[in-house]
């Protein structure tokens, strides 16, 4: 039994309890509609993940849910499946301008991605899904809203703009979802979250999803949810076990040569390169262009239409290298990323976790390679401390370092490849040693 403490204290206590579930239940056994079962079967869903197993029954039951779960755990489907079933079974239909379920997200990319998941799951239903975000013409969005929308996935800016224009009516919205709530707070959306509550009916179901939990998140959560079911899927290791981590000590002005070397050594691999700013993204793009390497760039300075095209090209594998800022570090599902390269180390250790979470997803293996300059060593120390484990150093001899700077296709050298293979071998040996100790 837990001691009789305040809800906030109880959740803090629960946050240190890690529970492993053996999930034998299959989706076909759930009390959800045949149409939804058919679509999720086509999507390859057989058994629920931990977050799905724990969240779906409570959401179907109408409970408020406060869930802390990492990216890549299947949390979008954890709320999309039960929400769509509930909306499918309700008696009344959505009318002019009305929204039955509102999903608030911090970025356009997340709005697009979550909309796609909802549409895929709702494929055989007659429910309407709309992703609402800025950067594109609002007229098509307004036209769809006029007919009434079952599920609206929205970023705050465009949503409040259309609310003020009287195109959105939230007075009968029965379900509110806040996804990536910690990121919404980071971006300063706390006022928007509180403001949206004024437009909702007093009685509604609230589903609160966040990747992390801290004082600010707890205060917000307990301010907007009522006696929630608290769920925390939080393994001790914040990063997927499928990801191997390596660091190469490379000075800031030399990083472009080492990126070129890596890309040339692995031409068929899909590589996601993170830089700190949009200016850096364009400079690295130009550097790769000068040596004949085709890359794409994605950052906040790009038009939305361009960002969609870039993401589509990279997802399909038409171009193997995408240079991006942290706009793609949170929640975005990009299939089959082989390498995440931290060209610049992130200022915040948590962002390292979000970045490398773009690889090693599901059962796939992934590799994270970081370029660390002299001035970035304190940042690396903080990241290592946050991960609670060392990042393998890829030792580069002085001669090899100099050779890399003058590296080209005319001077083939397998040292980079050998370093990466050696790193993978060392990771396996380390795991074997830990197992023997146990």
DSSP 345-358: --SSHHHHHHHHTT
- Quick one: average pLDDT of 187-213? 88
β-partners of residue 323 are: 273, 297
Of the listed ranges 4-8, 375-379, 391-395, the one predicted with least confidence: 4-8
DSSP state at residue 98: B
* Pair 65, 229: CB distance under 8 Å: yes
Structural domains for the chain: 7-233 (3.40.50.300), 243-437 (3.40.50.300)
pLDDT at position 223 is: 84
Length of the chain: 438
Which is nearest to 15 in space by CA: 271, 237, 232, 168?
232
Crossing angle between the packed helical segments 156-164 and 139-146, to the nearest 10 degrees: 60
- % of the chain residues with pLDDT over 90: 45
pLDDT at position 8 is: 36
Residue 300 pLDDT > 80: no
Q: Distance (Å, rounded) from C-alpha 406 to C-alpha 408?
A: 7
- Quick one: average pLDDT of 319-329? 86
Each residue's pLDDT tens digit, 26-50: 888 888 999 999 999 998 888 898 8
Name the phi and psi angles at 107, rounded to 5. Answer: -135, 160
- Quick one: average pLDDT of 275-284? 92
Which burial class, exposed, middle or buried, applies to 134 when counting CB atoms under 10 A from its CB (0-12, 13-18, 19+)? middle
Q: What is the pTM of this model?
A: 0.66
């Amino acid at each position: 039994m837990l001691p009789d403490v305040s809800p906030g204290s109880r959740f803090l206590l629960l946050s240190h309890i890690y529970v492993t579930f053996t999930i034998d239940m299959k989706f076909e056994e759930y009390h959800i509609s045949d149409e939804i079962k058919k679509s999720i079967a086509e999507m390859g869903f057989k058994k629920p993940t931990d977050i799905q197993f724990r969240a779906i029954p409570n959401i179907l039951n109408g409970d408020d849910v406060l869930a802390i779960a990492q990216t890549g755990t299947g949390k979008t489907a954890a709320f999309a499946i039960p929400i769509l079933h509930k909306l499918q079974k309700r008696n009344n239909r959505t009318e002019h301008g009305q929204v039955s379920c509102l999903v608030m997200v911090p970025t356009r990319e997340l709005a697009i991605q979550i909309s796609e998941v909802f549409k895929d799951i709702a494929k055989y239903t007659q429910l309407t899904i709309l992703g609402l975000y800025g950067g594109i013409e609002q007229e098509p969005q307004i036209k769809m809203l006029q007919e009434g929308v079952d599920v609206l996935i929205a970023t705050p800016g465009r949503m409040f703009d259309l609310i003020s224009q009287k195109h959105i009516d939230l007075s009968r919205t029965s379900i509110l979802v806040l996804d990536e709530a910690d990121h919404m707070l980071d971006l300063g959306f706390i006022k928007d979250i509180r403001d949206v509550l004024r437009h909702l009916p007093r009685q509604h179901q609230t589903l609160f999803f966040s990747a992390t939990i801290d004082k600010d998140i707890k205060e917000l959560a307990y301010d907007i949810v009522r006696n929630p079911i608290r769920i925390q899927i939080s393994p001790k290791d914040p990063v997927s076990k499928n990801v191997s981590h390596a660091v190469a000590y490379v000075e800031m002005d030399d990083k472009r040569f080492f990126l070129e070397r890596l890309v040339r050594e692995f031409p068929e691999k899909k590589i996601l390169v993170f830089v700190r700013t949009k200016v850096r993204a364009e400079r690295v793009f130009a550097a790769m262009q000068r040596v004949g390497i085709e890359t794409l760039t994605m950052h906040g300075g790009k038009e939305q239409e361009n960002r969609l095209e870039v993401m589509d090209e990279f997802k399909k594998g038409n171009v193997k290298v995408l240079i991006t800022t942290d706009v793609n570090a949170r929640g975005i599902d990009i299939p089959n990323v082989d390498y995440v390269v931290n060209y610049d180390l992130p200022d915040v250790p948590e962002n390292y976790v979000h970045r490398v979470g773009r690889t090693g997803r599901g059962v796939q293996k992934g590799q994270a390679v970081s370029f660390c300059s002299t001035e970035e060593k304190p940042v690396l120390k903080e990241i290592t401390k946050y991960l609670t484990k060392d990042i393998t150093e890829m030792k580069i001899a002085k001669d090899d370092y100099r050779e890399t700077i003058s590296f080209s296709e005319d001077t083939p050298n397998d040292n980079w490849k050998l370093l990466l293979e050696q790193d993978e071998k060392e990771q396996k040996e380390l795991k074997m040693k830990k197992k023997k100790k146990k």
